[in-house]
């Protein structure tokens, strides 16, 4: 059993979900964010920390055996912001984890690392990355850093390329990319509990019809999604005109990152 799980980005949408959902699954949840968090309850520790502050992150990871690394800018943004939070922040986290002897990290990557692949292609962990945004590039950095830390130091990582994790799918694209909060939680639990994962790249999506991504290589986890976007299809298709995007990343693949240039 995980003794002390550090959750970065604990104040965000997924972090708040995990805070309730993992209660009782780990001995101590150490919750951290750059933003204010609700005070610690039983079995919790709350630490405010900017991931870009190396010394603070080193202190943060001490005594933890696993990390769920959610802390990041989670949308397309200017490079300087991504550099601090996602690139420097993830480097600081891996260095701190190595020094603390952390066994395993679940890294919240994104489907946007392969967002320039066409709709209609089925991707898996061996598909070339084609990031659709600077945000996607920042997560590619995290995936490669994780690879290095496994090969060099044996620090295990699951790079979880999350689809769209919201209470409900909001548009046509999410009919394919939706990951229900319940399935997200059960996937995180499987990744925490698996005896050995090494360096693992997998996608996070519910059992939606016509999947874009295959996780066949991760069957050993025994994870089975419970939900599907299908019950939401009719309402979304009625409400929304047909999606014109040709790329899996949707809007992020078409929006100009350097607006005005
Ligand atoms: P969110 O934006 O709601 O939460 C991210 C949290 O990270 C925020 O609470 C923010 O304050 C914190 N943070 C940002 N910069 C920080 C810094 N420098 N130091 C410490 N904390 C910092 O995002 P959400 O939806 O909870 O996503 C969690 C993770 O999962 C993110 O890494 C995101 O990129 C990834 N992800 C989420 C998806 C989704 O559908 N929700 C889809 C794909 C990836």
User: In this structure, are strands 66-69 and 4-8 parallel, antiparallel, or unpaired?
Assistant: parallel
Instruction: Tell whether 10 is covered by a domain.
Output: yes
pLDDT of amino acid 258:
66
Q: For the chain, what is the domain count?
A: 1
Q: 76 CB less than 6 Å from ligand 1?
A: no
Distance CA 212, CA 222 (A): 20
In this prediction the ipTM stands at 0.99
| Atom 18 (ligand 1) nearest CA | 85
For the entire predicted model, the pTM comes to 0.97
Burial of 167 (0-12, 13-18, 19+ CB in 10 A): exposed
- What CATH number is given to the structural domain containing 97? 3.40.50.720
pLDDT of amino acid 138:
98
pLDDT of amino acid 257:
73
pLDDT of amino acid 112:
98
Distance CA 5, CA 155 (A): 15
* Dist. CA 14 → ligand 1 center (Å): 7
Q: Is 203 one of the catalytic residues?
A: no
Domain that holds residue 183: 4-254
Choice from 71, 91, 93 to test ligand 1 binding pocket (greatest atom count within 8 A of CB)? 71
Instruction: Tell whether 166 is covered by a domain.
Output: yes
Distance CA 223, CA 158 (A): 14
Instruction: Tell whether 260 is covered by a domain.
Output: no
Q: 133 CB less than 6 Å from ligand 1?
A: no
What backbone torsions phi and psi does residue 186 show, to the nearest 5 degrees? -70, -30
pLDDT of amino acid 236:
96
Catalytic annotation, pick one of 91, 94, 135, 203: 135
10-residue stretch averages of pLDDT, the chain, 261 residues long: 92 97 94 98 97 98 98 97 98 98 98 97 98 98 98 98 98 97 98 97 97 97 98 95 89 78 56
């Amino acid at each position: 059993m995980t003794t002390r799980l550090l959750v970065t980005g604990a104040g965000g949408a997924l972090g708040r979900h995990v805070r309730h959902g993992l209660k009782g699954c780990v001995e101590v949840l150490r919750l951290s964010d750059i933003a204010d968090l609700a005070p610690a309850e039983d079995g919790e520790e709350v630490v405010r920390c900017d991931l870009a502050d190396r010394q603070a992150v080193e202190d943060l990871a001490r005594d933890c055996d696993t990390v769920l690394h959610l802390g990041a800018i989670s949308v397309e943004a200017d490079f300087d912001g991504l550099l601090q939070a996602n690139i420097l922040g993830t480097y600081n986290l891996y260095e701190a984890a190595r020094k603390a002897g952390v066994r395993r990290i679940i890294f919240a990557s994104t489907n946007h690392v392969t967002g320039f692949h066409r709709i209609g292609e089925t991707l898996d962990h061996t598909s070339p990355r084609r990031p659709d945004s600077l945000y996607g590039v920042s997560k590619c950095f995290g995936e490669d850093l994780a690879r290095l830390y496994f090969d060099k130091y044996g620090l295990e990582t699951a790079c979880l390329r999350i689809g769209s994790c919201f209470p409900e799918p909001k548009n046509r694209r999410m009919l394919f990319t939706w990951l229900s909060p319940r399935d997200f939680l059960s996937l995180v639990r499987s990744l925490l509990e698996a005896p050995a994962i090494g360096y693992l790249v997998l996608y996070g999506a519910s059992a939606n019809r016509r999947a874009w991504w295959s996780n066949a290589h991760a069957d050993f986890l025994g994870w089975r999604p419970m939900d599907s976007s299908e019950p939401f299809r009719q309402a979304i298709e009625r409400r929304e005109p047909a999606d014109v995007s040709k790329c899996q990343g949707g809007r992020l693949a078409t929006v100009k990152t350097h607006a005005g240039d």
